Chains A and B, each alone.
Chain A
Amino acid sequence: MSAVTAPVALVRRRPPASVRRKRFLLAVANHSLLIAAAVAFLAPFIFILLTSLMTNNQALSTSLWPHPIRWSNFYDVFTKAPFWRWALNTLQYSVLATIGLVLSSVPVAYALARLRWRGRQVSFLIVLIALMLPPQVTVVPLYVMWAKLHLVGTLWPVILPNWFGDAFSIFLLRQFFLTIPEEYLDAARVDGCGELRIVATVVTRLAKPAIAAVALFSFLYTFNDFFLPLLYTGENPHHWVLSLGLSEFRSLHQVQWNLTMAATLLVMAPVIVLFFLAQRAFVEGVTLTGVKG
């Protein structure tokens, strides 16, 4: 018969005082540094927020705290400028461009990563070259092309190119698809999938972080894009997007800083909300590509 012994409570060893002091100081130093960095990044945002709640006179003064707090600034933004129209145009641009970009880039990236065909390497090389080409090189010929198609003045010249794939997205997705074990695709082939179905049912599910990252990059880029909308819709305010409208806000209303800041905050809000909602995918995407967001 074996003797049953009561379990002995574990007494955790305390590290020596010098080690504890060193750890404490290190934690204080780390947190101080991070808090300072966070304050530095948050300061402009807080300044915008506070100014957006001031009267115009107060905004021009040295006062930092709004008194009284003027929430009506946000209402005024919508009444004094066609803010809804700009927001709708921006949404149209961002959503259509992002959908088109994902739908066109995923199959191309899959073909470059996983299908064996003659000319695959050359095609990938062309994608890489397109990736390295500065946009300024293509602006003039593209403008001429859209002008001949009578689409300058509308948003189509900024939306439609995304429906034919994007070099950066194709490159990013291809790199991710290469990491998907071949067995998943082979299993799907044996289980009755054709290549298109593999892309639709297997690859898109396995590559969700990469696809989410590409969609997010595209949405953020198009949402903040200023240059291309200015180039193609600058003459037609009816098709302006938020970034364009915002830059015109000051000239429209003789530098009303409180309203300008309120409008800026409204433009930033969706991007911030989207970032927090898709934070994981975004960070994974950045890690994936080694690029800055």
Chain B
Amino acid sequence: MADVRYEQATKLYSGTDVPAVDALDLEVEDGEFMVLVGPSGSGKTTALRMLAGLEEVDAGAVLIGGRDVTDLPPKKRDVAMVFQNYALYPYLTVSQNIAFPLKMAGVKKAERERQAAEVARRLGMERYLGRKPSQLSGGERQRVAMGRAIIRQPSVFLMDEPLSNLDAKLRVQMRADIAALQRDLGVTTVYVTHDQAEAMTLGHRVAVLDHGRLQQVGEPRELYDRPTNRFVAGFIGSPAMNLCDVTCEHGAVSFGGERVELGPAVANGSGAVVLGLRPEALEVGLEGLPARVEVVEEFGADAFVFSSAQIGGEETRLVARTEARRAPAQGERIFLRVKPEEAHLFDAETGQRLGA
């Protein structure tokens, strides 16, 4: 086990001007489960591949356990990786696939088979040891890929969107399994996903990337409650946070004609700002901002009400969360009231968070 450090790590692909990963500074503690999350092209997979040694680091450094591994080949970094498409060798059995890293390390056949059986038992795959990958389901293949990663007892696990090829139900189950396995083994893990639900449920900490730059790193709750900028605010949370361009005067904003007092932290703010409101920060009530319901999405106990309202003379789409049993009907006219204590404020130009 070991800690991982990116120090100003940069990757610039030939033929491009914009770095895929731009001066990344990130520290992953020993035994920590760090999730790299971001939209397509944010540089999260490239950052992971730089750590694995599969991409060259053009500037800066990558350290594992305090050792500079920037110029070491993958096999000398003591890392194991799980790939999006599992990368199981189709011509090998489950047992041989799991034991492949040991074979490369020159471990004797009997010992390889013993360890592969032990790992398979741990993953509940002992019945499938003689099967080929083509005879397994997606979830079983995923387990074999995990087995191949853990058999060598590496310092760091790297996982590149390992659940994205599974169906929704299996994904939830495998998510729990991965979390339990990481907890049991206590191995430092860097996990890449574009699925924020995965990021929020799995990660001890989550690093949000966009256009190759680290936007924010912190615990899932911190990212949700205190997004550091407009991008993180919009990216974390589903449905996304409502972001409205409003004017701030003496610590209060005008929200479609409604005056919303925003606590002491932004009392002195003034001028154009972006007001961020999570769906649960908007209440459907009898008074407030008038809006018309466009769509209602019901999720068992809760419902999300997608509506449109006039804010600053512009048609703005807003989403509010409400109890499913009291959800308005499509086309109905409703009133939205802001919970000021749950409002976020961002600079209109820089997008940075204003206030505490």
Q: Assess whether B75 is interfacial by the CB under 8 Å rule.
A: yes
**Does the CB pair A183–B101 fall under 8 Å?**
no
A192 and B54 CA atoms in complex are apart in Å by: 12
CB–CB A190/B91 < 8 A? no
Does A87 lie at the interface of the complex (its beta carbon under 8 Å from any beta carbon of B)? no
> Which residues of chain A (153-196) have a CB below 8 Å from chain B?
181, 183-184, 186-194
Contact B52 A183 (CB under 8 A): no
The main secondary structure of chain A at its interface with chain B is: helix
B residues in contact with A184, CB < 8 Å: 87, 89
- Asked if A190 contacts B84 (CB within 8 A), the reply is no
In whole Å, how far is B30's beta carbon from the nearest beta carbon of chain A? Answer: 20
- B87 near A187 with CB under 8 A, answer yes
> Closest CB of chain B to A219's CB: distance in Å?
23
Residues of A with C-beta under 8 A to B85: 181, 183
In the complex, B105 has a CB within 8 A of chain A: yes
Interface string of B81-106 (1 = CB under 8 A from A): 10111010111000000001100110
User: Are B52 and A191 in touch, CB under 8 angstroms?
Assistant: no
CB-based nearest A residue for B14: A116
Bound complex: CA A100 to CA B225 (Å): 66
Interface size class, chain A: 10 to 19
A202 touches B (CB below 8 Å):
yes
Contact A202 B73 (CB under 8 A): no
Min C-beta distance of B278 to chain A, whole Å: 37
Residue B74 lies at the interface, judged by CB distance under 8 Å to chain A: yes
CB neighbours (8 Å) of B84 from chain A are 183
Q: How far is the CA of A4 from the CA of B74 in the complex (A)?
A: 62
B208 at the interface (CB under 8 A from A): no
The docked-state distance in angstroms from the alpha carbon of A197 to that of B73 is 14
Interface residues on chain B, number (Cβ under 8 Å): 24
Most buried by B among A188, A190, A205, A208: A190
Known: A189-B54, A197-B104. A206 touches B83 (CB 8 A): no
Whether the pair B54, A206 counts as a contact (CB closer than 8 A) is: no
CA gap between A191 and B151 in the complex, in Å: 11
A198 to chain B minimum Cβ distance, whole angstroms, is 10
Cross-chain contact B89 with A192 (CB below 8 angstroms): no
> Are B81's CB and A186's CB within 8 A?
yes
Complex: how many Å from CA A194 to CA B53?
13
Which B residues from 97 to 142 make CB contacts under 8 A with A? 100-101, 104-105
Contact B104 A186 (CB under 8 A): no
Across the interface, which residues of A come within 8 angstroms of B148, CB to CB?
A: 187, 191
A197 to B104, CA, bound (A): 9
Chain B residue with Cβ nearest A189: B74
Considering only CB atoms, which chain A residue lies closest to B106 in the complex?
A: A192
B253 interface residue, CB < 8 Å from A?
A: no
**Would A181 and B87 count as touching, CB distance under 8 A?**
yes
A208 cross-chain contacts in B, Cβ below 8 A: 91
Contact indicator B89/A190 (Cβ below 8 Å)? no
**B residues lining the A interface (CB < 8 Å):** 49, 52-54, 73-75, 79-81, 83-85, 87, 89-91, 100-101, 104-105, 148, 152, 158
Given A190-B81, A192-B105, A194-B75, 12 more A-B residue pairs with CB atoms under 8 Å apart are: A183-B87, A186-B74, A187-B87, A189-B54, A189-B75, A190-B53, A190-B54, A190-B79, A190-B80, A191-B80, A191-B104, A191-B152
